[in-house]
Amino acid sequence: MAQDNQAPIRIALLGAGTVGSQTARLIVEQREDLSQRIGRDIELVGVACLDPDEVTVPWIDRSLLTTDTAGLCTRADIVIELIGGLEPARTFVLRAIESGACVVTANKALLAKHGPEIYRAAEKRGVDIYFEAAVGGAIPIVRPLRESLVGDSVTSMLGIVNGTTNYILDEMTTKGLDFDVALKDAQDKGYAEADPTGDIEGHDAANKAAIMATLGFHTPVSIDDVTVEGITAITADDIAAATAEHKVVKLLAVVENGEEGVSARVYPALIDENHPLASVHGSFNAVFVHAEAADDLMFYGRGAGGAPTASAVVGDVVTEARHIAQGCVGPSIPLYRSLRKAPLDSSTAVFAVRFLIHDKPGVLAAIAQEFADHGISINGVNQDLKPTLHDPGYSGEIQQLRLVTHRCDEVTLRETVTAVCALDCVAGTPSILRVLD
């Protein structure tokens, strides 16, 4: 949007929720400092929301509130999209770009589904699109993938990218809480939404995995390409078993560019208590990046929360405003590759499988035989812990049997577990966790 190069840079904010209100606070309260860093004054020209009466924070001038989101998109130099979801967010972002505005967004779902379309639109129109807050909250991970490591070859990334699930698992580990109790505690403290499905089922982490893979491997990776397992099946028995083996359970996002192609997966895994990720507590996030020349890098920090996320948003605003003040745009996102996606049966790992079994002779031998028949080698066996479940159809004692495999493919492992569960001596639902080796 052409304008006098001495006039204030106009900023429009779409969404005044937790992150949006904190973003507005930083822009309003730090306007003078931000303008000095940019080299030109900035001005918040509008805040779009569904109901202006619900916006009560003192730092947002009520005259700025509007329900005309589409109109606001066309009268700003920078549009900050914090609405969330796919629509109407996608429509508003594309409208802002079409009008010549740069865009800052924290919308991981939007980018995981429509990122390449939006990146191409911004490049064609000659405007910036920045989204540091879409992955890892305040952690600077997007910019290094997009710019700092662009001269290197990233081969893999793994980490904890969802603060809600990390908080829940951490509370289950350190306080011995059941999943439902830990979830309720997370909701009471504001770490989990009233509807936590996106977090606890792994979808939020999957969106971030898609974005990381797209940036790191320079190839389009959609949310539809990501395989997802959440943490709703994790029980106090799983946590106790992990603790007994000096391990912790963490929900991981893992993206790799291997011989079989690009893979992006989200799943709970067992991690040795001495691994750096094991010490990531509460709502913090951490991401490991491996690149051919740079080797291993770790990014750590607050992965959620209004103020930390707003910090990343405003950092992007300053970057784009500097470009506007200097009459340039930042680097585009080069998606020049079309790498094939790795098939599911190419996924291999070490697995820890926990069965609930009838405590009688021959059970272990029968289960071991099923593993042998399917060609899976067992690396370790443990029967120390007592489970909390009782089998109504069996009057004897229920025992917990935990098997750790050698590395094997996931498809065969799950076929083996299904066969074992068909045995009369197996009760309940088995637990399957990967082991980070």
Residue 15 is assigned to a ligand binding site: yes
Q: Is 46 helix (H, G, I), strand (E, B) or coil?
A: strand
Interacting residues of 330 by C-beta distance below 8 A, sequence separation 6+: 128, 130, 319, 320, 323
Q: Please, are residues 435 and 408 in contact by the beta-carbon 8 Å criterion?
A: no
Residue 319 is assigned to a ligand binding site: no
* CA dist list (Å): 273 to 36, 251, 303, 306, 432: 46, 15, 21, 30, 19
Residue 16 is assigned to a ligand binding site: yes
208 annotated active-site: yes
Q: Please, are residues 236 and 387 in contact by the beta-carbon 8 Å criterion?
A: no
Cα–Cα nearest to 129, from 325, 337, 323: 323
Work out the number of other CB atoms within 10 angstroms of the CB of residue 2. Answer: 6
Interacting residues of 56 by C-beta distance below 8 A, sequence separation 6+: none
Residue 198 is assigned to a ligand binding site: no
Residue 122 is assigned to a ligand binding site: no
User: Residue 261, CB half-sphere, CA atoms under 13 Å: how many?
Assistant: 18
Q: Which helix (H) or strand (E) holds 104?
A: strand 102-105
* CA dist list (Å): 12 to 15, 137, 149, 312, 314: 10, 21, 31, 16, 12
Read off the DSSP letter of residue 411: H
Long-range contacts of 365-369 (CB under 8 A, 24+ apart): 366/423, 366/425, 367/401, 367/403, 367/420, 367/423, 367/426
Residue 193 is assigned to a ligand binding site: yes
Residue 147 is assigned to a ligand binding site: no
217: its two tokens: 């491997």
Q: Is 61 exposed, middle or buried (0-12, 13-18, 19+ CB in 10 A)?
A: exposed
230: its two tokens: 């959440």
Marked catalytic residue, from 113, 208, 250, 341: 208
For 211, phi then psi, to 5°, come to -65, -45
Alpha-helical regions (H) of 342-409: 363-373
Q: Is 85 helix (H, G, I), strand (E, B) or coil?
A: coil
Q: Which residue has the tokens 């577990």?
A: 417
Read off the DSSP letter of residue 145: I
What span, in angstroms and rounded, lies between the C-alpha atoms of 400 and 429? Answer: 12
305: its two tokens: 């929360």
Residue 115 is assigned to a ligand binding site: no
Q: Please, are residues 86 and 114 in contact by the beta-carbon 8 Å criterion?
A: yes
304: its two tokens: 């959620």
Going by the annotation, the residues of the binding site for L-homoserine are: 193
Specify binding-site residues for NADP(+). 14-21
Annotated binding residues: 14-21, 108, 193
Residues annotated as catalytic are 208
Annotated binding site for NADPH: 108
